[in-house]
């Protein structure tokens, strides 16, 4: 074995070690997020969150003050500006919930630990992706294993970027870390592929352009889908309160701390709308690459067809959000269907359907 081959093998081993190490740190972040939700629900703020949602229907701009006991017998007054937003259907005004930490010192401490662990895991995982790229001396997304580890890295990076921009998204941390662990577990056990497998058609600079944009789009679509799903739960919770009902214990302890349904709806719409032009570019770039590699821009290959179906589904969702009769839950269902199309385009087409985009053994 020559020196270059030995170096590449060592880099591939280092990449595997870093990926497994990131999974260990993500697991610590997972438990820290669990602690944030648990201790937040035990706080005074957590126990009265549902009551605040019902009684805080006064003028916008009011301030909620909650005294939180601290060590040493003292108290701290937490001031939370009331955020009043218009619901998607225009039928109710409700404030955002206090967040996973419930506005408490202990819950917030665990939340900060969870974010810190997520940052560390992200850096370790990114190092694993870079080591994989160096070991194969190309873009690290030439097969499903590489795509999966890069996809989850970009998803976490997007989440951390939103936090850095002071966006209210920490409530997403538990779901994100859980999905990342599942993604990495599937990648390392089922989808793992040796680092030297690459078909000739993928030896192109378009691999960097086309696949990288697809990864970015998938990561942002995932975040939008999480917000959309939580919007549906929160919307049902608010509807029950508005109709005089009493939600169950799960809604009282969890859903009451999420942002208002209208805030979640607006967030999911904005992220999906922001990345939709990039998905359009991804399809166009893929067509140009197909022209270079196979001598035709469009050949109704399964991957091409489902990419276009995904584009149509998200276009229908964006159009529905601009149509009065399709706002709210109807549009949210379309968003989830669109993300389902993206998931099938990746997992279903690659695993169960044979086409020109089938490569690296999976």
Q: What is the pLDDT of residue 355?
A: 62
* Residue-wise pLDDT tens digits, 162-176: 999 999 899 999 999
Tokens 């199309």, residue located: 341
Q: What is the pLDDT of residue 95?
A: 86
**What is the sign, positive or negative, of the torsion defined by CA atoms of 254, 256, 259, 260?**
positive
CA distances from 230 to 13, 165, 234, 251, 265 (A): 39, 21, 6, 12, 9
Q: Which of 311-344 are b and which e, b meaning 16 or more Cβ less than 10 Å from the residue's Cβ?
A: bebbebbbebbeeeebbbbebbebbbebbebbeb
Q: Look at residue 78 and give its three-state secondary structure.
A: strand
Distance CA 215, CA 218 (A): 5
Q: What is the pLDDT of residue 337?
A: 97
Q: Using the 8-state DSSP alphabet, how is residue 93 labeled? A: E
Give the phi and the psi of residue 322 in degrees, each rounded to 5: -95, 0
Distance CA 63, CA 75 (A): 18
Q: What is the pLDDT of residue 59?
A: 36
- Backbone region of residue 333 per phi and psi (left: phi > 0; alpha: psi in -120 to 50; beta: other values): alpha
Q: What is the pLDDT of residue 78?
A: 47
- Residue 219 structure tokens: 């990561």
Distance CA 61, CA 82 (A): 6
- Backbone region of residue 247 per phi and psi (left: phi > 0; alpha: psi in -120 to 50; beta: other values): beta
Q: What is the pLDDT of residue 45?
A: 46
Residues of the chain with pLDDT under 50: 45-46, 49-50, 52-71, 75-90, 360
Distance CA 13, CA 131 (A): 9
Number of H helices, E strands in the chain: 13, 4
Q: What is the pLDDT of residue 350?
A: 81
């Amino acid at each position: 074995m020559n020196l270059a081959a030995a170096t590449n093998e060592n880099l591939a081993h280092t990449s595997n070690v870093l990926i497994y190490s990131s999974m260990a740190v993500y697991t610590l972040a997972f438990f820290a997020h669990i602690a944030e939700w648990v201790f937040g629900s035990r706080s005074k703020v957590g126990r009265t969150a549902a009551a605040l949602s019902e009684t805080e229907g006064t003028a916008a701009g009011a301030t909620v003050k909650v005294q939180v006991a601290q060590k040493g017998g003292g108290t701290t007054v937490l001031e939370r500006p009331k955020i009043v937003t218009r619901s998607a259907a225009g039928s109710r005004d409700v404030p955002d919930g206090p967040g996973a930490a419930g506005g408490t010192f202990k819950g917030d401490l665990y939340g900060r630990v969870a974010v810190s662990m997520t940052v560390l895991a992200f850096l370790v995982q990114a190092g694993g992706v870079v080591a994989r790229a160096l070991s194969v001396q190309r873009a690290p997304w030439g097969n499903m294993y590489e795509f999966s580890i890069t996809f989850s890295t970009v998803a976490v990076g997007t989440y951390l970027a939103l936090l850095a921009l002071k966006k209210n998204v920490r409530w997403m941390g538990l779901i994100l870390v859980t999905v990342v662990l599942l993604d990495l577990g599937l990648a390392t056990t089922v989808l793992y592929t040796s680092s030297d497998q690459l078909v000739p058609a993928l030896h192109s600079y378009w691999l960097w352009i086309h696949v990288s944009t697809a990864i970015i789009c998938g990561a942002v679509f995932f975040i939008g889908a999480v917000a959309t799903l939580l919007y549906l739960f929160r919307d049902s919770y608010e509807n029950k309160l508005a109709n005089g009902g009493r939600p169950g214990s799960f809604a009282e302890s969890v859903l009451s701390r999420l942002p208002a349904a209208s805030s979640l709806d607006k967030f999911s719409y904005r992220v999906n709308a922001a990345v939709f032009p990039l998905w359009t570019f991804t399809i166009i770039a893929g067509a140009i690459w197909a022209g270079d590699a196979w001598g035709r821009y469009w050949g109704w290959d399964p991957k091409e067809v489902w990419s276009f179906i995904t584009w149509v589904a998200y276009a229908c969702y964006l159009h529905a959000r601009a149509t009065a009769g399709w706002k709210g839950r109807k549009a949210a269902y379309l968003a989830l269907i669109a993300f389902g199309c993206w998931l099938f385009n990746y997992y279903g087409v690659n695993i169960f359907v044979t086409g020109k985009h089938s490569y690296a053994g999976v």
